Amino acid sequence: MRFVFALLMIGMGASLVQAEVQTKEVTYQDGDVTLEGFVAWDPAAISEPVPGILVVHQWMGQTNYERGRCKQLAELGYVAFALDIYGKGNRPANPQEAAKVSGTFKNNSALYRKRLNLGLQQLLAQKGVDENQIAAIGYCFGGKGVLELARSGADVDGVVSFHGALDSPSPEDGKNIKAKVLICHGADDPFVPEADIDAMKKEFNEANVDWQMIYYSGAVHSFTQPMAGNDNSRGAAYNAKADQRSWVAMKAFFAELFD
């Protein structure tokens, strides 16, 4: 009996190990440009296909921040893939470089949307992903990115923009949006003009987009990112309460999409 019990304990231990979130880097191409994504999943959760979540990085490129979010999403039972817009090894060293690199894509929506959709293709190719249950989330530069992904006509169920740019550069593209939209926005964000918000709302309403927007009091830009510091006067700062509340809102949004 002791031997049998020991075998059972070993088996339980193996199961516990298998239940841990696993990760890997994924290299893919856009022509001659090599891109490097990151995927996280819980092997115990994907015995049957589960929803896949695309994660779009902020303007410093894909970092440990996005990878951490992928792991959190995997703990919730999803397969999460952090794409790479900039290219392998192309990581800005400071905000000035980040503004230049991100601006290249903001000013070239065709290239931006191409890289977003290439990332989506990689997510769909991952083991355990239910191709009929897909969402995307993005932060700052990536918050705008998920809206651009939706505007490209991508077949995704929903997108969540965290403190992203909310301009409407091509209002006619609103008609391409198939996804439901959740926007989590800092009420005191100085980098997002009210005129942009009004234009976005007009675009979405005229296209009959199913959208919702939540304002977080006392929050400025980058409110989900601890690396932004805590000085609101700089216009970008972490806000723990807004971070937690927006994550809860995202989970409720996903429950609506996938349940």
> pLDDT, tens digit, for every residue of 88-138?
999 999 999 999 999 999 999 999 999 999 999 999 999 999 999 999 999
Q: Do residues 39 and 52 make contact, with C-beta atoms less than 8 angstroms apart?
A: no
Mean pLDDT for the stretch of residues 168-196: 98
Which band of pLDDT confidence, cut at 50, 70 and 90, is reported for residue 19?
Answer: low
Tell me the average pLDDT across 151-156: 98
Mean pLDDT of the chain: 93
* Residue 143 pLDDT greater than 80, yes or no: yes
Task: List pLDDT tens digits, range 190-210.
Answer: 999 999 999 999 999 999 999
Given the candidates 3.90.660.10, 3.40.50.1820, 3.40.50.2300, 3.40.190.10, the CATH classification of the domain at 22-258 is 3.40.50.1820
At residue 6 the predicted structure's pLDDT band, cuts being 50, 70 and 90, is very low
pLDDT in tens, 219-236: 999 999 999 999 999 999
Q: Is the pLDDT of residue 139 over 50?
A: yes
Mean pLDDT of 45-58: 97
Q: What is the pLDDT, as a whole number, of residue 17?
A: 42
Residues 59-78 pLDDT 10s: 999 999 999 999 999 999 99
pLDDT at residue 14, rounded to an integer = 42
In percent, the amount of the chain with pLDDT more than 90 equals 92
The whole-number average pLDDT for the span 15-20 is 54
Look at residue 255 and tell me whether its pLDDT is greater than 60: yes
State the average pLDDT over residues 146-152: 98
According to the model, what pLDDT value does residue 259 have? Answer: 84
Ordered DSSP codes for the chain: -HHHHHHHHHHHHHHHHHTS-EEEEEEEEETTEEEEEEEEE-GGG-SS-EEEEEEE--TT-S-HHHHHHHHHHHHTT-EEEE--SS-TT---SSHHHHHHHHHHHHT-HHHHHHHHHHHHHHHHTSTTEEEEEEEEEEETHHHHHHHHHHHTT---SEEEEES-----S-GGGGGG--SEEEEEEETT-TTS-HHHHHHHHHHHHHTT--EEEEEETT--BTTT-GGG-S-GGGSB---HHHHHHHHHHHHHHHHHHH-
